[in-house]
Amino acid sequence: MRESGRVAIVTGASRGIGRAIALELARRGHVVMVNYRSNSEAAETVVAEIEAIGGQALAVQADVSQMADANSLAKTAKDAFGAIHILVNNAGIARDGLLMRMSEADWDAVLSTNLKGAFNCVKAVQRTMLRQRWGRIISIGSVVGLSGNAGQANYAAAKAGLVGFTKAVARELGSRKITANLVAPGFIETDMTAVLDDKVRAAACEQIPLGAMGQPEDVAAAVAFLVSNEAAYITGQVLCVDGGMAM
């Protein structure tokens, strides 16, 4: 299949890692559906950035934790461009706190967006991918899902769940040339890490063999490889983009 011109849905694409993924896929010639939940201005800015480099994009509002919204997102992509080749499950939230103090609402919110959201989106796109006998599904996990982290029981559980989910999807859909892989970032310079004080950042970097936080573009490059023709024989895998942190 010709690599450029594929249709990609990137959830949570209005900022941070999602934005970097959307821009990188656009640079490689893909049409990008820039999904957002609430910040339409930021999403439209990403669309404008893509159009400025000669790409094609469309901003689409959807709360992926809701099945109806995920179905609407997929339908919009199919109606607008006739196909869905790539799904990047990037949308995620954090509600950190020690387990003793974590509310049921905080647990449910994180699991609903970070894990159920991926389920909803794969359900929404899989029929199209099965019919076209080709697809790439990438979920953005976290090294926290592999190692755990104090104060993030909900986030770690959701990201760990994505590992098992990805492997199950890879087994179920592989016969139709649909691959499913997970990219697990470590500490990446985003809005979520920008709030960390210098002491916490220094302590984090001490745990990273490469000695520094990564950039959103590092994650985007890994995603771009996994959706490419060169990665056609890679499925059910976890790729850590973490400077060696999870070794």
User: Rounded distance, CA 234 to CA 238, Å?
Assistant: 10
Using one digit for the tens of pLDDT, what is the confidence trace for 60-91?
999 999 999 999 999 999 999 999 999 999 99
Check residue 195 and give its pLDDT.
75
- Annotation says 233 is catalytic: no
Q: Residue 74 is encoded by which pair of tokens?
A: 């997929």
Using one digit for the tens of pLDDT, what is the confidence trace for 156-187?
999 999 999 999 999 999 999 999 999 999 99
Which residues, including other chains, have CB under 8 Å from residue 208's CB and lie 6 or more apart? 186, 187, 242, 243, 244, 245
Cα 21 off chain centre by: 8
What is the model's pTM? 0.96
Check residue 19 and give its pLDDT.
98
**Smallest Cα–Cα separation from 88: which of 103, 77, 101?**
77
The single residue of 155, 180, 208, 235 carrying the catalytic annotation is 155
